[in-house]
């Protein structure tokens, strides 16, 4: 049973199976906590006021993928992230998101670093970087280098992403010498949810593109070289689970709101997670959805009319296939946000409206 204000460990097999893509040490993904936001202690570089570059949706079919052309487009905007730790170095990948020095990467690449530097493909020496803000729960971090005239990536329209689309992953896999590694595959599935060491990552793109340690924070790209996701985790085989080419990227639909939140945090703002006030169970009959267990009195769920036994099948317009999806959907929102929750009650579908609050003090 998961409660939306409890920190609980996931099953051991998930701890062994999902791994994020660090180089020096693979960080096992498991357990469930809320998003943890941290702002820089020395925000002297500030954050950009430039808008994020996004592409308009087109109605044309995607062209046949030209991997060399995609790589040429993205290479100036992809960087190596070097994190100096107590016991050595870890490397990952990042993408430039503004011409005046903002860089996006995974939180797990930089969260334990004593210092961070960035290496551009066309330079000989790394550049010192400042960690402006970190969202551990969504596994994203905003960095800044004191440079201008950089070429930012273009983010794709989230509605343009379809299962079966050709995609390319670019990143500094295994920290190999030379330029970035490029691999090719397809979008295998959309809206996946997995447990992570610090939360439940939702809205993920599943891909069969080969991604490896060092690809963390690197882009997953469409045929036009636009970023559709930020690579974050892979599914690996264990003693009782077989897996091949199952990787996950944080979808642009999740990335863009987090960038806005990180920018606010870098300027001194704070964020508190939304609170619904329920315990959540997986269905035990093989069906989709999350089962409401206990409902806290006078909580947002109680005021919305939720009762024990309701099966949540959609939250805020996104399908809920299991308990993790519901927990992630709530923790992505803030106090004061109103969300629509679709439930099945006695086989009848109804839509309830809940206004989230701050988590009560225990």
Active-site annotation holds for 3: no
Is pLDDT larger for residue 230 or for residue 201?
Answer: 230
Domains in the chain: how many in total? 2
**Are residues 195 and 139 part of one domain?**
yes
**What tens digit of pLDDT does each residue of 228-266 get?**
999 998 877 666 777 678 899 999 998 998 998 899 887
pLDDT, mean of residues 62-85: 89
**271 domain-assigned:** no
pLDDT score, position 285: 86
Note whether 92 and 173 are same-domain residues. Answer: yes
Q: What is the pLDDT of residues 19-40, one digit of tens each?
A: 455 433 322 222 222 333 444 4
Active site residue 332: no
- Residue tagged active-site, from 216, 249, 299, 318: 216
Final residue in a domain of this structure, among 266, 298, 332: 266
Of 219, 235, 266, the residue that ends a domain is 266
187 and 70 within one domain: yes
| 164 and 114 within one domain | yes
Residues 256, 286 within the same domain: no
Average pLDDT over residues 331-350: 91
With bands split at pLDDT 50, 70 and 90, how would you rate the model's confidence at 60?
low
Whether residue 212 sits in one domain with residue 128: yes
| The pLDDT value given to residue 21 | 53
Residue 216 annotated to the active site:
yes
| Per-residue buried b or exposed e for 100-127, using 16+ beta carbons within 10 Å of the residue's own CB | bbbbbbbbbbbbebeebbbbbeeeeebe
Angle at 182 between CA 177 and CA 184, to 5 degrees: 155
Q: Are residues 250 and 282 in the same domain?
A: no
Hey, what are 357's tokens?
Answer: 């609050």
pLDDT score recorded for residue 20 = 52
What is the tens place of the pLDDT at every residue in 161-175?
Answer: 999 999 999 998 887
| Shared domain check, 288 and 345 | yes
Find the CATH number of the domain harbouring 116.
2.40.10.120
Residue 2 lies in a domain: no
In a domain, 345, yes or no: yes
Q: Is residue 242 part of a domain?
A: yes
Both 180 and 313 in a single domain?
Answer: no
The per-residue pLDDT for 13 is 34
What mean pLDDT is predicted for residues 182-206? 84
| Mean pLDDT score across all residues of the chain | 81
Point out the catalytic residue in the list 4, 77, 108, 117. Answer: 108
What CATH number is attached to the domain comprising 290? Answer: 2.30.42.10
Give me the catalytic one of 139, 310, 321, 342: 139
Which of the listed residues 266, 289, 304 is the one where a domain comes to its end? Answer: 266
Does the structure show a pLDDT above 50 at 212?
yes
Same domain, 157 and 45: yes
Domain ranges, residue 184: 7-266
Residue 17 lies in a domain: yes
Residue 362 domain-assigned? no
Q: Count CB atoms within 10 A of the CB of residue 265.
A: 22
Q: What is the pLDDT of residues 265-311, one digit of tens each?
A: 877 665 677 889 999 988 888 888 999 999 999 999 999 999 999 99
- Asked whether residue 361 is domain-assigned, the answer is no
> 337 and 208 in one domain?
no
Mean pLDDT of 119-134: 92
Pair 19, 47 in one domain: yes
Domain presence at residue 26: yes
């Amino acid at each position: 049973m998961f409660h939306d204000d409890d920190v609980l460990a996931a099953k051991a097999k998930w701890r062994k199976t999902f791994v994020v893509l660090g180089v020096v040490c693979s960080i096992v993904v498991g357990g469930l906590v809320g998003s943890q936001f941290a702002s820089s202690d020395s925000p002297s570089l500030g954050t950009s006021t430039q808008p994020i570059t996004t592409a308009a949706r087109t109605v044309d079919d995607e062209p046949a993928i030209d991997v060399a052309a995609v790589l040429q487009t993205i290479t100036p905007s992809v960087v190596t992230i070097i994190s100096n730790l107590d016991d050595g170095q870890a490397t990952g990948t990042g993408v430039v998101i503004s011409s005046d020095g903002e860089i996006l990467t995974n939180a797990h690449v930089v969260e334990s670093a004593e210092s961070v530097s960035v290496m551009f493909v066309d330079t000989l020496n790394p550049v010192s970087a400042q960690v402006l803000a970190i969202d551990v729960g969504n596994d994203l971090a905003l960095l800044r280098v004191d440079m201008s005239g950089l070429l930012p990536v273009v983010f794709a329209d989230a509605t343009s992403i379809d299962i079966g689309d050709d995609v390319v992953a670019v990143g500094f896999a295994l920290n190999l010498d030379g330029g970035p590694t490029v691999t090719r595959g397809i979008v295998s599935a959309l809206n996946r949810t997995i447990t992570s060491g610090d939360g439940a990552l939702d809205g993920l793109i599943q891909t069969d593109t080969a991604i490896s340690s060092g690809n963390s924070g690197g882009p997953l790209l469409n045929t036009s070289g636009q970023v559709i996701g930020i690579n974050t985790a892979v599914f690996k085989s264990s003693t009782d689970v077989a897996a091949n080419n199952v990787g996950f990227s944080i979808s642009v639909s999740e990335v863009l709101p987090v960038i806005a939140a990180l920018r606010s945090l870098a300027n001194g703002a704070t964020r508190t997670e939304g609170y619904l006030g329920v315990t959540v169970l997986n269905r035990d009959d093989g069906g989709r959805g999350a089962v409401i267990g206990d409902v806290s009195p006078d909580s947002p769920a109680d005021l919305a009319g939720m009762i024990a036994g309701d099966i949540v099948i959609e939250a805020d317009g996104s399908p809920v296939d299991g308990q993790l999806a519901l927990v992630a959907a709530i923790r992505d929102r803030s106090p004061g946000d109103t969300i629509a929750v679709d439930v099945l009650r006695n086989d009848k579908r109804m839509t309830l409206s809940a206004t989230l609050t701050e988590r009560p003090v225990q």
